[in-house]
């Protein structure tokens, strides 16, 4: 069992483990709603929409985290504003902001002498370079995400399954949508410097999507997604250590592989004869 425990005896791998676990929890809370509401394109657009803020912060020698937050907030505000136009679909607005923000970010980064290095760090991150300060930020972000999820839970459920009923019940769906964007922004900005924007999207989508095929309640999806994210983190770090692969990419690839295993299992389950399922306790037609 030495191969299983030796890597985590190294300090930077141990910090990467804790960082990955915290990111898994944050992404489970936000990613559940992204999957249930079909907001995957928005999540992808927002993760890439941080590039202008990160690039500007890098050029000005400022905080990359602050730059990412400001850029993501601007992206969320733009999506909210454009979604109110009756003549413009939400996907069109998101697509335009996605391309515009990404293009602006590349223009800004191209002025840097280390263009390739900066862009690579932004896209893929470096989970093995997590510092104690990063863990503190992630822990605070997890607490904030948990509070926001608890406060907005009832409104989020109504918004995800029946927006018109939410409006009838006076739940203010626009406010709920804005809070949901805040939760998504928090998850992406807190996690991007650990696993990068491309890979945080994998942790945001893959674990909840894998669990939603089996779970019957929102809390169960969140708990299962956090567990799958943790399994992906541990497995990815072990594979990365022993095979010398990129740690962040390996974690994200593991999460996606678990989704396909889950989808395969769900497909086999659904192929069983209906009659045999009726005999199982708890089944109701």
Characterise 130 by phi-psi region: left (phi > 0), alpha (psi -120 to 50), beta (else).
Answer: beta
For the entire predicted model, the pTM comes to 0.84
Angle 89-95-96 (CA atoms, 0-180°, nearest 5)?
Answer: 95
Q: Helix or strand or coil: residue 279?
A: coil
Helix axes 90-109, 115-124, angle to 10 degrees: 140
Return d(Cα 10, Cα 237) in angstroms, integer: 12
| Contact indicator for 196, 51 with CB cutoff of 8 Å | no
The CA-to-CA distance between both ends of the chain, in Å, stands at 47
Enter the CATH code of domain 8-266.
Answer: 1.10.3470.10
**Rounded Cα distance, 64 and 87, in Å:** 36
Asked if residue 238 lies in contact with residue 226, where contact means CB atoms within 8 angstroms, the answer is no
From first to last of its 285 residues, what are the pLDDT tens digits of the chain? 777 888 888 899 999 999 999 999 999 999 999 998 888 888 888 887 888 888 888 778 877 778 888 888 888 888 778 777 777 777 788 888 888 888 888 888 777 665 554 566 666 778 888 889 889 989 999 999 999 999 988 888 887 777 676 667 666 777 888 888 889 988 988 887 777 777 788 889 999 999 999 998 999 999 999 999 999 999 999 999 999 888 888 898 999 999 999 999 998 888 876 545 555 554 343
Burial of 240 (0-12, 13-18, 19+ CB in 10 A): buried
> How many Cα atoms within 13 Å fall on the side-chain side of residue 235?
15
Phi, psi of 244 (to 5 degrees): 70, 30
Work out the angle at residue 267's Cα, subtended by the Cα atoms of residues 261 and 270, and round it to the nearest 5 degrees: 145
């Amino acid at each position: 069992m030495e191969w299983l425990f030796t890597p985590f005896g190294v300090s930077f791998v141990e910090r990467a483990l804790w960082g990955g676990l915290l990111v898994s929890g944050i992404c489970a809370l936000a990613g559940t709603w992204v999957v249930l509401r079909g907001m995957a394109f928005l999540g992808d657009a927002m993760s890439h929409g941080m590039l202008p803020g990160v690039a500007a912060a890098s050029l000005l020698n400022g905080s990359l985290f602050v730059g990412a937050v400001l850029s993501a907030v601007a992206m969320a505000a733009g999506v909210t504003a454009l979604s109110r136009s009756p003549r413009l679909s939400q996907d069109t607005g998101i697509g335009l902001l996605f391309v515009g923000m990404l293009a602006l970010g590349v223009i800004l980064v191209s002025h840097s002498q280390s263009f390739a290095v900066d862009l690579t760090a932004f896209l893929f991150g470096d989970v093995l370079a997590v510092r104690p300060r990063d863990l503190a930020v992630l822990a605070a972000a997890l607490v904030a995400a948990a509070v926001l999820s608890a406060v907005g839970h009832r409104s989020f459920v109504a918004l995800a399954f029946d927006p018109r009923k939410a409006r009838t019940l006076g739940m203010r769906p626009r406010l709920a949508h804005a809070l949901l964007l805040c939760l998504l922004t928090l998850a992406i900005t807190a996690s991007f410097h650990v696993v990068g924007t491309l890979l945080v999207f994998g942790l945001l989508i893959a674990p909840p999507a894998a669990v939603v095929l089996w779970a019957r309640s929102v809390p169960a999806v969140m708990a299962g997604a956090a567990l799958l994210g943790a399994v992906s983190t541990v497995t990815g770090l072990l594979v990365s250590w022993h095979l010398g692969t990129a740690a962040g990419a390996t974690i994200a690839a593991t999460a996606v592989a678990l989704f396909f295993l889950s989808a395969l299992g769900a497909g086999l389950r659904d192929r069983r004869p209906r009659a045999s399922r009726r005999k199982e306790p708890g089944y109701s037609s």
